[in-house]
Amino acid sequence: MLRDRLREGPVWALGTMSGTSLDGVDAAMVLTDGEEVFALGDTAYRPYSEAERSVLRAALGRWDGLEDAAAVVEGAHAELLAGMGGAELVGFHGQTTAHDPGGRGTCQIGDGRLLAHALDLPVVWDFRSADVALGGQGAPLAPFYHHALARRTGASAPVAFLNLGGVANLTWCDPSIADPAAPGACLAFDTGPANAPLDDLVAARRGLGRDEDGALALAGRADAAIVARAASHGYVARIPPKSLDRDDFAWALDAVAGLGDEDAAATLVAICAETVSAGLGHCPHPPARVLVCGGGRLNPAMMRALARRVPDGIEIAPVEDIGLDGDMIEAQAFAFLAVRVARGLPSSCPGTTGVAAAVGGGEISHPGDALALLEDRQG
């Protein structure tokens, strides 16, 4: 029984993330008891094919009629995870198609019951709904894992983690407080856009998936008036907790429509850096160092813009500087959170999502649970 195994000590959990960039599925193994990270294990990645990506792209912003997109997500995860042995539990984030915590809720597609059946393992999924139902933002959820990583490195002073995915999210955490859900241990929120508008710009203008190594942005000059407009957007000044949907800053794309490709890219990069810098102002104390994960850390234009725009005395460094794999932090986070949920520990708290009290979100499905669903689907 999983419950008995979890009582005995740490287990190997397999976490997955299919992020807002729609590039593919990340998977990573973590040996953990949901409180401490004992070891980091194998990782794997499966890109979505062009055809799959266009199905997922069409699903963005939608709350229903998502069967085809869900099948793409379920199929890609089953294929990737089937090749990874040794896990006792899976944390399955799924793919966010729409996020409106103050309104319609939050929507992640991919059915964990089917994955439990395909892998013959218990699967924790639907991590965000319970938090939203209790008045939280449902995001970001990686902060408790960031806190565990900060403790693992032996840090005693506050540490900041910045994820530059489609959207940017910042975690400030105090590793001297053992319980991540305790008051003062974690403050986290989405700062603004990261790669999503830039990816959309180069897709529309150049037919490319991304601004490889920031080549376009490095050749351009940011439009100061547009950057200032983004920095004065109501979201940026709003006191956290707060979270964004992938396309909440899509208006920035319209704002750069009159600029050449290079200047438009440089402007979108500067908007990311400026809104992160403003976000740092919401932290209880300025951190000495911001550890960056997510694909944006591989874009030198973004890293330089950040280094230039954050307040003096704050160093910007990739998480590789402390021996971590910046592509896998989110997948590892959902392995860690799966164990927390299975142990009945919270996965979010007022400081991370604004939920009224610490809550453990997530449904646990076991291999047999899919039988009724499969019979239903077969008609």
Ligand X SMILES: CC(=O)N[C@H]1[C@@H]2OC[C@@H](O2)[C@@H](O)[C@@H]1O[C@H](C)C(=O)O
List C-alpha distances in Å: 108 to 187, 241, 370. 24, 20, 18
Give, as ranges, the residues between 181 and 220 that touch ligand X (CB under 6 A).
190
Range in contact with ligand ATP (rule: CB under 6 A) among 71-79, 130-138, 205-213, 233-241: 205-213
In the complex, the smallest distance separating the C-beta of residue 59 from ligand ATP, rounded to whole angstroms, is: 14
Distance CA 91, CA 141 (A): 12
Distance CA 259, CA 224 (A): 12
List C-alpha distances in Å: 33 to 3, 8, 142, 254. 12, 9, 16, 46
365 within 8 A of 123, measured Cβ to Cβ: yes
- Name the residue nearer to ligand ATP (CB basis): 10 or 101: 101
In the complex, the smallest distance separating the C-beta of residue 329 from ligand X, rounded to whole angstroms, is: 9
Backbone φ and ψ of 282, nearest 5°? -85, -10
In the complex, the smallest distance separating the C-beta of residue 353 from ligand X, rounded to whole angstroms, is: 9
For residue 359, give the DSSP letter: B
What does 141 bind: ligand X, ligand ATP, none (CB cut-off 5 to 8 Å by kind)?
ligand X
Burial environment of residue 225 by CB neighbours within 10 A (0 to 12, 13 to 18, 19 or more)? exposed
Q: Strand 167-173 to strand 186-193: parallel, antiparallel, or no bridges (unpaired)?
A: antiparallel
- Name the residue nearer to ligand ATP (CB basis): 299 or 365: 299
In the complex, the smallest distance separating the C-beta of residue 96 from ligand ATP, rounded to whole angstroms, is: 7
Whether omega before 350 lies within 30 degrees of 0, making that bond cis, reads no
Element (H, E) at 206: helix 196-206
Contact flag: residue 165 with ligand ATP (CB under 6 A): yes
Distance CA 309, CA 290 (A): 13
Tokens found for residue 73: 């997500």
Per-residue x/- track, 135-164, ligand X (CB under 6 A): ----xxxx--------------------x-
Which amino acids are annotated as binding site for ATP, given as ranges?
19-26
Among 195, 267, 348, 353, binds ligand ATP (CB under 6 A): 195
Reference 334, options 146, 153, 162, 104; nearest CA is: 146
Give, as ranges, the residues between 4 and 43 that touch ligand X (CB under 6 A).
19-20
Contact flag: residue 315 with ligand ATP (CB under 6 A): no
Among 18, 96, 277, 365, binds ligand X (CB under 6 A): 96
Among 6, 11, 15, 23, binds ligand ATP (CB under 6 A): 23
Per-residue x/- track, 104-143, ligand ATP (CB under 6 A): ----------------------------------------
Per-residue x/- track, 98-127, ligand X (CB under 6 A): -x------x---------------------
- Name the residue nearer to ligand X (CB basis): 24 or 260: 24
Contact flag: residue 171 with ligand ATP (CB under 6 A): no
With tokens 């980091």, the residue in question is 40
In the complex, the residues that contact ligand X under the rule CB under 6 A are: 19-20, 96, 99, 106, 139-142, 163, 165-167, 169, 190, 243, 330
